[in-house]
Structure 1
Amino acid sequence: MPSEPLEAEFARPPALSSEQEEELRVLGQEHGALQLSHAHELSRRSTEHTLANLERSYTRQGIHVVEFEKGKREDPREWSRWRKWYVTLTTAFLCTAAALGSSIITGDMEGPTRDLHTSQEIVNLTVTCFVIGFGIGALAKNAATLVVGRQIAGLAASAPICNVGGSVADVWAIEERGLPMATFSFAIFLGPVLGPLIGGWIGERAGWRWIYWVLFIFSGLCFMLTLVMPETLATALLRKKAKKLREETGDDKYRTIEELESPPFKEMMKTALGRPLVMLFTEPILAFMTIYLSFVYSILYLLFFAFPIAFEEVRGFGLGMTGVTFVSVMIGITLAMLVMPLQEKIYAHYTKFGTYPEARLFPMMLGAILLPSALFVFAFTGAYGHVHWIGPCIAGFMFGFALILLYISGNSYIVDCYSDYAASAIAAKTLVRSEIGAMVPLYVTQMFHNMGFQYAGLLLALVGVGIAPIPFVFYRYGEGVRGRSGRATQMVRRTEKESNLESI
C-alpha cells in the first residue's frame, strides 16, 4: 500500500496534477489556444507512471483495478464532439441562469420598495443574500420573505457556478479546452451584465414581480435540460462500472484506484477547510492577488447600483433604457474574450523551456491601468446631467474590458504559482471575494448619495490607482517571493538543448 493516497482525479490518467485538475473543475481557467507546456507534460508523464506502478502493485495482490476500456467511449474524453458540446453548452446555459439571477432584480429595485412598504436598504439585501427561491420571490408579501427566498436561491445557484467548469474539464482534453472553457467563462460574466438589461424592461413593462416569474420559468427550462445530461466525472463512472462488475461476477475484488487510495474523510475535511485559510495569511502572492480580484469583483456589483444613479436619477432615463446602458459593459467583456487567446500564445512562448507563472501577468498589467481610468471617466461623466450619456457608457466599456483582463489573468497566475495547491488557493480567494462582493449593496447607494457621485467615483478610482502596482511588482519580484514560499511553484528554466534531451 503506498504511503501517500492519490486524489480522486487519479482514477483516470489526468493531463495535470490533481490540484490543477480540481482547479479546472472549480473555475475552468484555461482560455484561448491552449498548449501543453513542458511542466504540464512532465506532470502527465509522472502521473501515468505512478498509476501504472499502483496498478501492477494491486494486481499482484489479486485486486482487479477497474479502468476505462479504450475504443468503447466509456471515458468522457472519448465521447463524440457533438456530445461534448451538448454538455458544454448545457452547463454554460446553467451558469448564465445562475449568474443572471444575481443581478436581474436590480433592473427594478423601486417596485418592491414601494409595494412591500420597506426601505431601499432592505431590498438591496436581496442581492446580498443571493448566494430554488426564484419562485418564492414572486409570491413574496413582505420584505423578509423576499430576502429569505433570495438566500435559498443563491445557495442553489452556487452548485452550477462551482461545478460547471469541472464538467467541461471532464470531457475535453487539456489541448482541446480553449474554446469550451472560453464559452463557459463568457457565460459566467455575461449573466450578471444581462441581468439589469432584461430586468429593467420587465420591471418597466410588467412590474417587478414578473422579474421573478421570468427567472423562475427560465430556471425551469434549465432544470429540464439537466435531466438528460450524462454524468461526466470519470471517478463516478468508474465506481459505477466497478459496482456492476462486482454484482455480475460476485467477485468483491473489482475496485477503482479512488476506492483503494482515497484518504480518510477527516483528513480530506482538514485539508479542504484548513489549508485555504492558512495559505491566505501566509502566502503574499495569494493575499495581494485576493485583495485585487476582490476589489474588481466588488466594482462589477457596484455598477448595478451606480448605473441607475447616473442614468435614472441624473439623466432621467427609464428602467428599460438604464438597463440598455449595460450593453457597454457587455461589449467590453466580449472584446476582451476575443483577444485573450493572444495571451495564451505569449504564455506558450515564455514557458517553452520551463515554468514561468509571471508570464500570465501581461494582461493584468494592462487591466491595472484601464480599471482606474474607467473609474475616473465614470466619476467625471456620470455625475453631471449635461455630459452626454455616452461618457458613462465608455467607462462601462473600459471596465468590461479590464474586468476580463484582470480576472482571468489573475486567476491563472494564482493557479500557476500554486500548481500543487491550486484548489486551496482559489478557494481562499473565492471566499474573500464573495464576502466582499456581498457587502457592496449594503453601502453603495448611501456612498454615492452622501459623498456625491463625483467624489464617490473618485474614491474608487484612487483605490484602483493604489492597488495598480500589484501585478507590476509581482512581475518583477514574483520569482523571489515564490522562492521563499514552501508551497509556491519554483522557477524551472532550461535551455533548448536541455529541454530536448529531457523530452527524449
Structure 2
Amino acid sequence: MAAHPDGIVSKNDGDAESVLKGSRNIVGWNGPDDPANPLNFHRFRKWVIALICSTGALCVACSSSIYTATYDGLEKDFDVNEITAIAGLTLFVFGMGAGPMLYAPLSEFYGRRIIYILSFTFYLAFQFPVGFGTNITSVLVNRLLSGLSGSAFMSVAGGTVSDLFSKEEIGKPMMVFTAAPFLGPSIGPLLGNFITYKLQWRWVIYVMMMWTGAMLGLILLFVPETYAPVLLRWKAKKLRQQTGKKQLYAPIENIERSVIGTVVFSCKRPFQLLFLEPMVFCLCLFTAILLGIMYLFFQAFPLVFENNHGFQKQLVGLTFMGLLTGCICGVLTEPFWKSLYHHLSVRYGSGRPEFRLPQVMAGAIFTPIGIFWFAFTTYKSVPYIVPIISALPFGLGIILVFSGVFTYLVEAYRPYAASALAANGFLRSSFAAIFPLFSVPMYDKLGYVWASALLGFLCLGCMPFPFLFYKFGPYLRKRSRFAWTNQDEETSQIKREEPSAESLPDNEQTQDRDIEMAP
C-alpha cells in the first residue's frame, strides 16, 4: 500500500482513487516520513509538548491539595466549620474523577487541542469565583466546577503523549506524565502554607490562577493538535476544497457513531468491568484506598505536627517532603521493574500481564510499613523527623502500586483498556473525595496513633490482592469475558503490539499506542 503525494491512500503510486478495505478515496499520510504526522515531529518539539501537558496535569493536581492551606481563612471569613471548608477539597477531587469520563470520548471526536483550550479556559474562569467569592456556597460550587474543567489533563494528556512517541520511545515521557498527578498533591500543601504565612488565603487561589493562565498561554503557543484521525479529517476537508472531489474522506469520517452514544457507552463499560471483574474491582479498590489515605493525610499531618511538635502553619507543608521524596524514588525505580518484566518474559516464554504485578507486591509491602511507622511515631516524645521520614516508604509504595496496577489493567484487559482505567479513576477519585471528610472526627475520637493504625490495617487487608492475582490471574482471565485468555498468551509477544479496539484511534500508524492513561 503506497501513499499518493496528495495524501490519498492508494494501492498504486499513480492511482488517486483506489480501494482500501472496500472503501474508496481514503485520505492518509504522505508516506511514513510525512512531517505532518505527529510521530515525525522533531524530538525536542515532542518533549516540549509532553512536558507542557504533564505540567498541566501537575497544575490541576496541585490545585486539589493547595486548597488545604485556605481552611483557616475560610472558617474565619465565612463563619463555617472545618468540615464545610474541607468539602471544597472533596468536591474538587470528585470533579477530577468524573470529568475524564466526558473528556476522553470528546477528544476522539474533536481532537486534543480544543479540549485542552476549553478545559483550561473554564478552569481559569471557575477559579475567579473561588478567589473573589463572598460566600462559602460560591467557593464550594466553583471548586467542583474547577475540578471538572481541569480534569482533561488527567486523562487526555496521556493520549497526547502516546500520539507523539513510538513504543520504543514512550517509556520515559509516559513515566513523567504518570508521576505528575502524584507529585502535585505533595507540592500543594508545601506551597500553600508558605503563601498563607504572609498573605491572605485568597492569594492561594490567585497564585493558581496565575499558573493556570501561564499554562493556557503555553498550550495556545506550543501544543498543536496531535490526534492522527482528527488531523486526517482536517486534511481530507482541505483536499475536498482544493480538488473539488467530494468523495474524499478520512477514516474517522466513516464511523457511524454519535458523540452522545459514545459518551454513554464510555460511562457504561467501566462499571461493567468494576462490578463483574473481581481483579478489576480488587485492584481498583486497593488504589482507591491508597489515594484516599494520601488525601486524608492532608488533614492528619497538620493535626500531628502542629499539636504534638509545635510546628507553625507555614512549616507544616515541609512535613510532606518525605511523601514527595518517596514518590520521586518510586519513579526512579522504573528501569528495575522494566528489566524484571523482561527477565520473567524470557524465562517463561511469554509476557503475561501478571509479570507487571511484582512491583505492586513491593508497593503493597511498603505502604503499610510507612503508615504504621507514622502511626506509632506520632508521640510528642519522638523527634519530628521520624514521622516525616515515615512518609517516604508510603510515597514509594503508592507509586509502585499505581504504576503497576495501571500497566496490568492495560495488558490484562487490552481490548477494554480505556474502560478499565476509567473505572480505576472514578473509584479512586471517589475515595479521595470522601476520606478527608471523616479525617478530623476520626483522629479526634481514636487519637493520632490508632486512627493512623486503622489506615494501616486497611492497607494490610488489600496486601494479598497482587500476590493472589500473580498466582491465579491466568485462571481468572481464562474465565473472564473481558480479559485476555491463556490462549492469547501463546502469541503475547505479537498481540502486545496490537491496538486496543475500544480506546485507540482509527489511523493504523498511531492505533497501537493511544491508550488513555489516567492516574
TM-score between both structures, scaled by the size of structure 2: 0.82
Equivalent residue pairs, number? 447
Q: Secondary structure, in 3 states, of the residue corresponding to 1:337?
A: helix
Q: 1:241 to 1:469 in 2, by over 3 A?
A: same
Q: Within 2, Cα distance between the matches of 1:458 and 1:12?
A: 64
In structure 2, C-alpha distance between the alignment counterparts of 1:163 and 1:260, rounded to whole Å:
23
| Cα displacement (A) at 1:64 | 3.8
Out of 340, 350, 353, the position equivalent to 2:344 is 350
- 1:143 corresponds to which of 133, 136, 145: 136
Measured in 2, the distance between the counterparts of 1:56 and 1:480 equals: 46
- Which residue number in structure 1 is paired with residue 174 of structure 2? 181
| 2:64 is equivalent to residue 102 of structure 1 | yes
Question: Relative CO higher for 1 or 2, CA cutoff 8 Å, sep ≥ 6?
Answer: 1
| 1:201/1:493 CA distance change after superposition, 3 Å | same
Distance 1:366 1:12 in 2: 51
Question: Is this contact kept in 2: 1:68–1:238, CA < 8 A?
Answer: no
Counterpart check, 1:448 vs 2:443: yes
Contact 2:130–2:138 (8 Å) recurs in 1 = yes
Q: How does 1:383-398 map to 2 (within 5 A)?
A: 384-398=379-393
Cα distance in 1 between the residues matched to 2:259 and 2:62: 35
Q: Residues 110-259 of structure 1: matches in 2 within 5 Å?
A: 110-130=72-92, 131=95, 132=123, 133-228=126-221, 229-259=223-253
CA deviations 1:281-310 (Å, max 9, x no partner) are 111110111111111111110111111011
**Helix, strand or coil at the partner of 2:357:** helix
Q: CA deviation at 1:495?
A: 10
Find 2:320's aligned residue among 326, 330, 342: 326
Shift, 1:461, TM fit = 1.0
* Alpha-carbon contact 1:418-1:488 (below 8 Å) kept: yes
Note the C-alpha offset of 1:375: 1.1
What do residues 228-274 of structure 1 show as CA deviations (whole Å, max 9, x unaligned)? Answer: 12111111111100000001111011111222244455653453122
Aligned-residue sequence identity (percent) comes to 33
Task: Look up the SS of the partner of 2:376 in the other structure.
Answer: helix
Cα distance between partner residues in 2 of 1:159 and 1:373: 34
Output aligned runs, 1:479-490, within 5 Å.
479-490=474-485
Is 1:378 the counterpart of 2:371 in the alignment?
no
Match of 1:35 in 2: none
Query: In 2, Cα distance between the equivalents of 1:181 and 1:139?
Result: 37
CA contact (8 A) 1:167 1:233 kept: yes
Q: 2:404 aligns with which of 399, 404, 409?
A: 409
Q: Is the 8 A contact 1:293 1:406 kept in 2?
A: yes
User: Retained in 1: the 8 A contact 2:196–2:203?
Assistant: yes
User: Aligned-pair distance for 1:62?
Assistant: 4.1
In structure 2, relative to structure 1, the CA distance for the partners of 1:478 and 1:115 (3 Å cut) is same
| SS of residue in 2 equivalent to 1:115 | helix
Matched residue of 1:386: which SS? coil
Contact 2:69–2:196, Cα closer than 8 Å, also in 1: yes
Partner of 1:17: none
Computed over aligned residues only, the root mean square deviation of the Cα atoms, in angstroms, reads 2.3
Question: 1:42 maps to which residue?
Answer: none
- Residue pair 2:295, 2:432 contacting (<8 A) in 1 also: yes
Return the alpha-carbon distance in structure 2 between the equivalents of residues 256 and 137 of structure 1: 43
- For residues 413 and 143 of structure 2, the distance between their equivalents in structure 1, rounded to whole angstroms, comes to 35
TM-aligned CA distance change 1:387 to 1:74, over 3 Å = same
Other-structure match for 1:434: 429
Question: Does structure 2 retain, via aligned residues, the 8 Å contact 1:63–1:253?
Answer: yes
Matched, 1:280 2:242: no
Identify if the C-alpha distance between structure 1 residues 231 and 444 changes in structure 2 by more than 3 Å, giving closer, same or farther: same
- Deviations along 1:73-125, one digit per CA (max 9) or x if unpaired, are 11000010111011011111111111110000113421211122111111001
1:493 Cα offset (Å) = 5.0
Deviation digits for residues 155-202 of structure 1, max 9, x if unmatched? 111111121111111111111011111111222211111000000111
Q: Is this contact kept in 2: 1:108–1:204, CA < 8 A?
A: no
| SS of aligned partner of 1:315 | coil
Aligned in 2, Cα 1:312/1:485: closer, same or farther, shift over 3 Å? same
Q: CA deviation at 1:351?
A: 2.9
Offset at 1:68?
4.2
1:287-302 alignment runs, 5 A limit? 287-302=281-296
Q: Distance in 1 between matches of 2:489 and 2:459?
A: 34
Are the equivalent residues in 2 in contact too, given 1:67–1:256 (CA < 8 A)?
Answer: no
Of 392-401 and 193-202, deviating more is 392-401
Distance of 1:60 and 1:436 partners within structure 2: 48
CA shift in 2, pair 1:292/1:215, >3 Å: same
Which amino acid counterpart does residue 333 of structure 2 have in structure 1? V
Retained in 2: the 8 A contact 1:63–1:255? Answer: yes
Distance of 1:233 and 1:243 partners within structure 2: 16
| Maintained 8 Å contact 2:27/2:232 | no
Distance in 2 between the 1:199 and 1:285 partners? 38
Q: Give 5+ residue unaligned stretches, structure 1.
A: 1-10, 14-54, 500-504
Question: Structure 2 vs 1, CA of residues 270 and 207 (structure 1 numbering), >3 Å: closer, same or farther?
Answer: closer
- Separation (CA, whole Å) in 2 of partners of 1:58 and 1:69: 15
Residue 463 of structure 1 is aligned with which of 447, 458, 467?
458
Q: 1:350 to 1:68 in 2, by over 3 A?
A: farther
| CA–CA separation in structure 1 for the residues paired with 2:47 and 2:8 | 21
> How far is 1:373 from its partner?
1.2
The answer (yes or no) to whether the contact 2:26–2:251 under 8 Å persists in 1 is no
Q: Is the Cα–Cα contact under 8 Å of residues 129 and 151 in structure 1 kept in the other structure?
A: yes
Q: Which runs of 5+ in 2 are unaligned?
A: 1-6, 10-16, 96-122, 495-519
